[in-house]
Amino acid sequence: MSDNKKTTIVLFSGDYDKAMAAYIIANGAAAYDHDVTIFHTFWGLNALRKDAQVPVKKGLMEKLFGKMMPRGADKMGLSKMNYLGMGQKMIKSVVKKHNALPLPQLVEMAQEQDVKLIACTMTMDLLGLKKEELLDEIEYGGVAAYIGEAENGNVSLFI
């Protein structure tokens, strides 16, 4: 076990702005030498979805969830003032204008900084998401994995 400080984030939300906040904090903590883990559960799993459609066998409910949920970080909506996607376009536009990083690049940067990205297997089952649909080089685990990470940490957040 390293002597580094430790930040553990549960990303439950599937909102573009909340996921941005989660990944900005994660990348910031990693830059300050924290060991950082993001545990993606429920709608937060969508931040890990590939944007291409991946053909996988699913039940009816799981197909429906698959269709209703955004395919990847770039397609997620805002938590506030989304207005059928206009708010999200506005955020992306100001992110670009101010040379900030859009969400897909924040996820990439996190992977480059060795932030541990875990997908919650229990909610993957519930929502019918398959490993083939999620980004490569992530880890998989349940609530035990989360507790193990969080209980020795310095900063723990639920977003």
Which parts of this chain interact with a copy of itself (CB under 8 A)?
5, 7, 10, 12, 14, 17-18, 21, 24-25, 27-29, 31-32, 34, 41-43, 59, 61-62, 64-65, 68-69, 79-81, 90-91, 93-95, 97-98, 100, 122, 125-128, 142-144, 146-148, 150-159
Query: What is the closest distance, in whole angstroms, from the C-beta atom of residue 147 to a copy of itself in the complex?
Result: 5
Distance CA 79, CA 72 (A): 16
Residue number with CB closer to a copy of itself (137 or 144): 144
Q: What is the DSSP string of 95-119?
A: HHHTTPPPHHHHHHHHHHTT-EEEE
Distance CA 43, CA 46 (A): 6
Residue number with CB closer to a copy of itself (3 or 137): 3
Distance CA 27, CA 77 (A): 21
Quick check: 117 and 139 in contact, CB under 8 A?
yes
Query: What is the closest distance, in whole angstroms, from the C-beta atom of residue 13 to a copy of itself in the complex?
Result: 8
Query: What is the closest distance, in whole angstroms, from the C-beta atom of residue 136 to a copy of itself in the complex?
Result: 25
